[in-house]
Structure 1
Amino acid sequence: MICALMIGRAGSTGFPGKNTYPILGRPLCAYPLMAAHNSRYISRIFVSTDCPKITAVAQEFGAEFIERPSELATKEALGEDVFAHGYREIKRRLSDEGKTIELMVLLFANAATITAELIDEGIEILRHDSSVDSAVTTSVYNMWSPLRARKIAEDGCLHPFVPFETFGDPKTLNCDRDSQGEVHFADMSVSVVLPHCLEHLEDGLLPQKWMGQKIAPIRSWGGCDIDYEWQVPMVEFWLKKHGIQDASEE
């Protein structure tokens, strides 16, 4: 059985209420639920939350609920621990029914740049290649190459965040944003993972250890999880480009 698990909490501080913020006339968290609901392969959708508003939205998609423990509902709590907790609860429930989990589809309530087609592509990647641990959406953001990253040092000036030598001979490097080739970022829209990734987080690759070690890309563009209000127009643009209309126009 393939199960989707969306996580989202009530107490966002950087962008209060972001998970239910209106995007094209729908709550933000409706979009990952829509994608999971329309997937050809997902059998059941679960939501781990402490937020009544997210719960209300998820009920419209027939989601089953996992109560998010208070210690996992703080800004310090790691997403990997919330996913692992949710997975264990889903595994327990399915075990009681005599069922097992083939794959987990992991979603964030604030990541709307996802479609059923992208989810299904990730599922098909894992079904066709047993050597990979996960398949995740990636977007190419060459403008954010680590070569361009800076930090403010004790002298108050900007210094390379990563030593230039990491990328080769500094004398051969240039400022062109494409000079390091495609720079892929896991954009958090979806992670399709094997169960063992959640059972053995300690073996996973930083920074998202739920992805395991061998991670296949699901190529996307413009993907992101919304953490700031200025990202809203970007996500609305992405959704419109993928044929999703404003709810008021339907």
Structure 2
Amino acid sequence: MIDDKSVLAIVPARGGSKGLPGKNKRPLQGKPLVAWPIGAALGAACVDKVLCTTDDAEIRGIALAHGAQAPFLRPAHLASDCASSIDAILHAVDYLAERGEHYDYVVVLEPTSPLTASADVDAALRTLHARRADADSIVGVSRVESTHPEYDVRLGADGRISPYLAADFKSLKRRQEIEALHFLEGSLYISATPALRVEGGFYHGRTLGYEVPRWKSVEIDELVDFLFVETLLANLDQLAALDAAAHHS
């Protein structure tokens, strides 16, 4: 609960994956990938219930073993490559509502973002709850750094490059001069339940951004991402120290 508002956390985890087959069941530091967001949700003080929606019986078993509820297997039409993720989320919300369980907020944590911590979930929820007068949802964002569009170029048919934004290369801005931009990084999604139904998603004009450091924004889609996250997890102390230094600078 947050004040008197109930919170449902949903972990969506399909059985199919083209980029990294079986990734949601793949062990990350000895724990299946799907178990990481479940652990983050269970550890969040504001979350009342953690539900895993999956079409895969083995993933369902893993979810149950790690403390989530998984009362159903997702219908096949909500688990295909072209199925909408929001439809799968609303299916889970409706399943509970039909059984008399209603929640004021819905949190979605995906296995592809295993670096999200319980503290992130609570902080984002509290931010949204405090801003309910002018916001209905909050999503993870991270600052654009090395890939800032100021430094993008076009590659011409003749092989020559030209600036994408600047008039010429002499006009390129220094890093200290560029506008701060952020990208939608997918580590967490939270919405007031009525707004989720009305908007059909988490992104709209009343959406806040919850800023996370670049290292937490890594999403696992391919093997190289998985290996990268393993390295990050092995160096969490150093990363935490960097974050602390950044907050005090």
Question: What TM-score range do you get, normalising by the shorter chain?
Answer: 0.7 to 0.9
Considering only aligned residues, what root-mean-square deviation do their CA atoms show, in Å? 2.7
Between the aligned partners of 1:72 and 1:5, the Cα distance in structure 2 is 15
| Greater displacement, 46-55 / 175-184 | 175-184
* Aligned counterpart, 1:198: 196
Q: Report the Cα offset of residue 218 of structure 1.
A: 2.0
**CA spacing shift, 1:43–1:15, aligned 2, 3 Å:** same
* Aligned counterpart, 2:42: 37
Query: Between Structure 1 and Structure 2, how many residues are aligned?
Result: 227
For residue 10 of structure 1, the aligned residue among 10, 15, 20 is 15
TM-score by length of 2: 0.79
Between the aligned partners of 1:226 and 1:80, the Cα distance in structure 2 is 20
Residue 140 of structure 2 contacts residue 188 of structure 2 at CA under 8 Å; is this kept in 1?
A: yes
Between the aligned partners of 1:211 and 1:78, the Cα distance in structure 2 is 14
Q: Report the Cα offset of residue 193 of structure 1.
A: 1.1
Structure 2 letter corresponding to 1:142: E
Can you give the 5+ residue segments of structure 2 that lack an aligned partner in the other structure? 1-5, 238-249
* Aligned counterpart, 1:63: 68
Residue 193 of structure 1 contacts residue 211 of structure 1 at CA under 8 Å; is this kept in 2?
A: no
* 1:122 lines up with 2:116 in the alignment: no
Between the aligned partners of 1:211 and 1:30, the Cα distance in structure 2 is 26
Q: Report the Cα offset of residue 6 of structure 1.
A: 0.8
Residue 137 of structure 1 contacts residue 190 of structure 1 at CA under 8 Å; is this kept in 2?
A: yes
Structure 2 letter corresponding to 1:36: A
**CA spacing shift, 1:27–1:129, aligned 2, 3 Å:** same
Between the aligned partners of 2:194 and 2:154, the Cα distance in structure 1 is 37
**CA spacing shift, 1:177–1:41, aligned 2, 3 Å:** same
**CA spacing shift, 1:159–1:32, aligned 2, 3 Å:** farther
User: Matches of residues 88-237 of structure 1 in structure 2 within 5 Å?
Assistant: 88-93=94-99, 96=100, 99-130=101-132, 131-149=134-152, 155=157, 164=165, 170=167, 173-174=171-172, 176=174, 179-202=177-200, 209-221=201-213, 222=215, 223-237=217-231
Equivalent residue of 1:76, what SS?
A: coil
Equivalent residue of 1:88, what SS?
A: helix
Between the aligned partners of 1:212 and 1:89, the Cα distance in structure 2 is 25
**CA spacing shift, 1:70–1:150, aligned 2, 3 Å:** farther
Higher relative contact order by CA 8 Å / sep ≥ 6: 1 or 2?
A: 1
Residue 141 of structure 2 contacts residue 212 of structure 2 at CA under 8 Å; is this kept in 1?
A: yes
Between the aligned partners of 1:173 and 1:89, the Cα distance in structure 2 is 56
Between the aligned partners of 1:10 and 1:156, the Cα distance in structure 2 is 45
Aligned sequence identity (%): 22
Give the ranges of 4+ consecutive aligned residues of structure 1 lying more than 3 Å apart after TM superposition.
Answer: 146-153, 155-161, 169-173, 175-180, 237-243
Deviation sequence 1:168-223 (CA, Å, 0-9, x none): x7468516556533321222111111112320235xxxxxx323322222221221
TM-score by length of 1: 0.79
Structure 2 letter corresponding to 1:74: S
For residue 76 of structure 1, the aligned residue among 82, 89, 93 is 82
Residue 19 of structure 1 contacts residue 29 of structure 1 at CA under 8 Å; is this kept in 2?
A: yes
Structure 2 letter corresponding to 1:235: V
Between the aligned partners of 1:194 and 1:178, the Cα distance in structure 2 is 37
Between the aligned partners of 2:73 and 2:171, the Cα distance in structure 1 is 50
**CA spacing shift, 1:50–1:182, aligned 2, 3 Å:** same
Q: Report the Cα offset of residue 149 of structure 1.
A: 4.8
Residue 150 of structure 1 contacts residue 158 of structure 1 at CA under 8 Å; is this kept in 2?
A: no
Q: Report the Cα offset of residue 152 of structure 1.
A: 7.1
Structure 1 letter corresponding to 2:38: L
Structure 1 letter corresponding to 2:149: P
